[in-house]
């Protein structure tokens, strides 16, 4: 499905209520509850809405924040950011560069080499494991 922008009707039918609330209504899953928070598997994290590859497991790290954290996207343009002044604070929202799904927020307190922390909701992600070599 990568590259194609699903309709709202398709997403309502396919996503769980939590996935829909996070990605389409800019929600946030409770800290320390997401399915990918503790994951150490090797592979690619995809947008749950359109299947676009967003983050490599090689850039995932434990930030202690309660959400999966990455220090950079897999490639330029895979995610986009915009100012978010909701909830009485100013933050940088992160969205899928392909379909615009809300993913989470970006902070400038991450590790080197970027110093950034992409704090992403597990509900906004799908995971494709890296195939094992034989």
- Is the residue at 20 inside a domain? yes
Which has the higher per-residue pLDDT, 1 or 11? 11
1 belongs to a structural domain: no
Quick check: helix, strand or coil at residue 102?
strand
pLDDT of residue 84: 83
pLDDT tens for 81-120 read 998 887 788 889 999 999 999 999 999 999 999 999 999 9
The one catalytic residue among 47, 50, 96, 119? 119
Q: What is the number of structural domains in the chain?
A: 1
Write the pLDDT tens digit of every residue in 19-64.
Answer: 999 999 999 999 999 999 999 999 999 999 999 999 999 999 999 9
Q: Give the E-state strand segments of 75-124 in sequence order.
A: 79-84, 91-96, 102-107, 117-120
pTM of the complete model beyond 0.85: yes
- The whole domain housing 117 covers 8-129
Evaluate whether residue 65 is within a structural domain: yes
Please check whether residue 120 lies inside any domain of the structure. Answer: yes
96 is catalytic: no
Question: Looking at the domain assignment, is residue 3 inside a domain?
Answer: no
Dist. CA 11–CA 109, nearest whole Å: 33
CATH code of the domain covering residue 46:
2.170.150.20
């Amino acid at each position: 499905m990568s590259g194609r922008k699903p309709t709202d009707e398709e997403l309502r039918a396919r996503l769980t209520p939590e996935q829909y609330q996070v990605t389409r209504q800019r929600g946030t899953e409770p800290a320390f509850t997401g399915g990918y928070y503790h994951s150490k598997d090797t592979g690619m994290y995809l947008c749950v809405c359109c299947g676009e590859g967003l983050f490599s497991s090689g850039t995932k790290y434990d930030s202690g924040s309660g959400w999966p954290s990455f220090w950079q996207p897999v490639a330029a343009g895979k995610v986009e950011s915009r100012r978010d002044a909701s909830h009485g604070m100013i933050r940088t929202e992160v969205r899928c560069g392909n379909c615009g799904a809300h993913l989470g927020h970006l902070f400038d307190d991450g590790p080197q080499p970027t110093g950034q922390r992409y704090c992403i909701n597990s509900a906004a992600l799908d995971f494709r494991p890296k195939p094992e070599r034989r």
